Amino acid sequence: MSTASILDIRELSVEIPTESSTLKAVRGISLDLKRGETLGIVGESGSGKSMTALAIMNLLPPSAKRAAACINFDGNNLAQASERQLARDVRGQRIGMIFQEPMTSLNPVYSIGRQLTETMTLHRDVSAATAEARAVHLLEKVGLPDPASRLKQYPHELSGGQRQRVMIAMALMNEPELLIADEPTTALDVTIQAQILHLLRDLQQELGMSMILITHDLGVVSRAADKIAVMYAGDIVETGNTTEVLKDPRHPYTQGLLECVPGYRNGAAQRLGAIPGIVPAMTGTVQGCAFASRCPRAVDLCRTDVPPREAVSPGRYYVCHDPVTHDTAKPLTVETAAHEGAAGPSQLPKPTVLTVEQVSCTFSVRRGLFGKRKPLKALNEVSLSIEKGEILALVGESGCGKTTLSRTIMGLQSPSGGSVILNGQRIEDLPPLQRARMIQPIFQDPYSSLNPRKTIGDIIGKPLAVHRIGTKAEQRAHTHRMMELVGLPARVFNSYPDQLSGGQRQRAAIGRALIMNPEVVICDEPTSALDVSVQAQILNLLLDLRDELDLTYLFVTHNLSVVEHMADRVAVMYLGEIVECGDRDQVMSDPKHPYTRALMDSALSISPGETVPDLGLSGDFPNPINRPSGCSFHPRCPIAEQQCRDKAPASELIDTTLVKCWKAGVSVGRSGNPSINESNNNMEESAP
């Protein structure tokens, strides 16, 4: 790696005027990036990560004001460059950017081919044929099958992972020297996330690019970044070598973020650390340390004086009044003691609350207005059971049928076969109001699931009014008790959802779901849209409520660190089938199915110095309309044999784990194991 810097930022500030004051989005930060190096920028939402990236190329809102001593990019000061120079010579040409949400970044009315080739023809004097050949080459590099045919497709015809690969190809069309990736894997499955990060690393090495990786996932940055910059309230509070910062954090905010991550210094039976409060709105005059109001080590000096910059080693510093190390620092919160009841279910037998028996669900779909209808089997003879007080985690890639199964369990989707039994009664036989009292959901996005025209008190107390439970005074009192239980202050009773933070909105959604004391709560990705600090608060809350109210959870998620922290048992779903189900520790430490092994390998724990794993999976998740013959996983399986292609396996009990695989119990090895590569070669040679 070259020691020459390709990007040198000094005293960069971004201010955005508002009606009442000025928002200081970025406050005088300095960064340095060498050629071929990857810098990870981490922090909570609102800390200024994306604004910093946009300021480099001056892609800020029209009202924003950017100021910097210099933004030196390969000898050119971008702070003094004109808009015409930036558009012609820098953006898309020498600096590429991958945006967080590919569906909103790609033009829905233009084909993939037009958007890719236009990126090249606008900046270079090349023919359309040359640009098209480059587009096909890059689509092949990013792993899209049949790349030539993709040029005629539109964004809505691709999956989320495929759209993200198109965004990567678009950013690389002109072989940029610097690639800025803003949350490139946030909305993706763990398997796709690992593939995307592995792809970016390979392309970076091949093209010699430098990269800025913006994320709030510390597991991702620990595997993919050489250096790390921790941002808070528009300022960099700690920076340095990734391994040094993550293994020896000096700033209390860095320590707090790490303590919030499930699995970091926490066993499954431990409560997560939690940073109180939220990132402040940096408006008006900023006095002292911006983190002082949330810091357990804050003293009076922190609230009045700007903290000094403390150097640890060359290139490593943090900004804090308190120079103690993490070994002698106060804990972030007092909530680090063992969590009673989180270690798993009691050994005493408990009644089964929910039973799913051989449930199948088939839809009739067609492509286009006059297309022929085809059957789509979303669920294929799924069987599950959940005991009282248990947390069953349901994991799998997008499209595997998790949402359909959740809707079927709640009685919102009629199965084409099988039955769902809740407390001894078939779900379809229960009256709607009784069913709503027995089973409730907590959705992924709390903002879209709460009525924006209703106050928080009305939202949480609405089920009581619908079911006509108690007088209005009693309903109001019950709502206040529920708000206190889920950690919502009484002052937000008359507030509206847009006046609350993301964590408070999710607490309101939890309160609404629990106010009827349901038998089963279905948690559908309840923390995926939240920062790691807010996620920790919500996970702690859900465990507390499980213990206090004796709740039963079906926890749908793709975050395996959350599964390890929360679940008693794990069910792994693939293409509408449960391929493995068993005790959490057994499934996660010794998976029997090759798909489960791939999922576990793709989980990026905080492991500085380790690389992103190569999962050894071939191809993408199959289309449920065209289900593979035999075992549904065989086209991607590294150990598939002819028997797997010819006949679907039956479920088999191994130890305490139920597995659906012809080679169940056979060691499939870790990713990168030569036996996997050899198995892949054998599979390719024997494939028809």
| DSSP classification of residue 449 | H
Average pLDDT, the chain: 86
pLDDT at 250: 93
pLDDT of 101 strictly over 90: no
Domain endpoint, select from 509, 531, 562? 509
Q: Does residue 439 sit within a domain?
A: yes
Q: Does residue 349 sit within a domain?
A: yes
Task: Give the ranges where 369-517 is alpha helix by DSSP (H).
Answer: 402-409, 432-438, 446-449, 456-466, 472-485, 502-514
Q: Are residues 380 and 498 in the same domain?
A: no
Domain endpoint, select from 456, 481, 509? 509
Total structural domains within the chain = 2
- Can you tell me the mean pLDDT for 525-554? 89
The residue with greater pLDDT, 256 or 614, is: 256
pLDDT at 667: 54
Q: How far is CA 414 from CA 362, 407, 409, 474, in A?
A: 10, 9, 9, 36
pLDDT of 401 strictly over 50: yes
Q: Does residue 309 sit within a domain?
A: no
Q: Are residues 487 and 524 in the same domain?
A: no
User: Is there a contact between 602 and 629 (Cβ–Cβ < 8 Å)?
Assistant: no
Q: Are residues 404 and 495 in the same domain?
A: no
pLDDT tens digits for 645-685? 999 999 988 888 999 999 876 654 444 443 333 333 333 33
Which residues make beta-bridge pairs with 38? Answer: 211
pLDDT above 90 as % of the chain: 56
pLDDT at 356: 96
Q: Does residue 460 sit within a domain?
A: yes
3-state SS, residue 292? helix
Closest Cα partner for 272 from 226, 336, 213, 217?
336
pLDDT at 326: 41
Q: Does residue 41 sit within a domain?
A: no
Q: Are residues 530 and 493 in the same domain?
A: no
Q: CATH number, domain at 554?
A: 3.40.50.300
3-state SS, residue 197? helix
Q: Are residues 642 and 688 in the same domain?
A: yes
Q: Are residues 578 and 670 in the same domain?
A: yes
Task: Return the minimum-mean-pLDDT range out of 71-85, 191-205, 658-672.
Answer: 658-672
Residues near 678 by Cβ (< 8 Å), separated by ≥ 6?
none
pLDDT tens digits for 339-363? 443 444 445 678 999 999 999 999 9
Q: Are residues 440 and 560 in the same domain?
A: no
Q: Are residues 374 and 435 in the same domain?
A: no
Q: Does residue 137 sit within a domain?
A: no
Domain endpoint, select from 468, 485, 509? 509
Q: Does residue 275 sit within a domain?
A: no
Domain of residue 418 covers 340-423+519-688
pLDDT at 685: 36
- Can you tell me the mean pLDDT for 610-632? 80
Q: Are residues 369 and 475 in the same domain?
A: no
pLDDT of 594 strictly over 80: yes
Q: Are residues 446 and 369 in the same domain?
A: no
CB atoms within 10 A of CB 558: 24
Label residue 335 by pLDDT band (50, 70, 90): very low
3-state SS, residue 621? coil
Q: Are residues 354 and 498 in the same domain?
A: no
DSSP calls for 502-565: HHHHHHHHHHHHHTT--SEEEEESTTTTS-HHHHHHHHHHHHHHHHHHT--EEEE-S-HHHHHH
Q: Does residue 538 sit within a domain?
A: yes
Q: Are residues 363 and 396 in the same domain?
A: yes
Q: Exposure of 329 by Cβ count < 10 A (0-12 exposed, 13-18 middle, 19+ buried)?
A: middle
520-524 and 352-365 as β-strands: parallel, antiparallel, unpaired? unpaired
